[in-house]
Amino acid sequence: REGFLFRKIDIEGQKKSSNRSWVNLYCVLNKGELGFYKDAKNTSTPYNNEPVINLSRCACDINNGYKKKKNVFTLKTNDGSEFLFHAKDEDDLKSWITSINTS
Ligand code: I3P
C-alpha cells in the first residue's frame, strides 16, 4: 500500500523529537517496512535520506486523544519512536492501520 499521509515525529528513539512539524509525505508500505518519499515519482530517494521503518513489533492504532486534527493514528516502533499520521478521511485511516498491522 502507498499514498500520501501527513506525518509528525513525536518521539525519535526514546527522545522527544526536535523537528515537530507536520509534513506531507508519500508513504510506501512494503514487506514489513515503511518508507517516506517526497512524491510518488522518486521512491528510490528517501525523504531526508531517512531509513525505512521496520514494523516488526510495532503498535499502530487510531489516536483519539489528539484533538487538533481528525483521522490521526499513532505508530510506535520497536526502537521507541512514535509517529503521528494524519489521513485524509476515516476510510483512509482505517485501511492504513489495517495494512500496517498486517504487513
Ligand atoms: C511545530 C508545529 C507543529 C506543532 C508542534 C510545533 O512547530 O507548529 O504543527 O504540532 O507543536 O512544535 P515547528 O513547525 O516550528 O516545528 P501540533 O500541530 O501537534 O500542535 P508541539 O511541539 O507541541 O508538538
Q: What is the pLDDT of residues 44-69, one digit of tens each?
A: 999 999 999 999 999 999 999 999 99
Work out the mean pLDDT of the chain and round it to a whole number: 97
Q: Residue 42's pLDDT is what?
A: 86
- Determine whether the shortest distance from the Cβ of 22 to ligand 1 is under 6 A: yes
Q: Which of 66, 67, 103, 70 is nearest to 83 (CA)?
A: 66
At 38 the pLDDT is 96
Is the CB of 70 within 6 Å of ligand 1? no
Cα-to-centroid distance, 31 and ligand 1 (Å): 31
Q: Decide if 63 contacts 83 (C-beta within 8 A).
A: no
Nearest CA to ligand 1 atom 21: 20
pTM over 0.90: yes
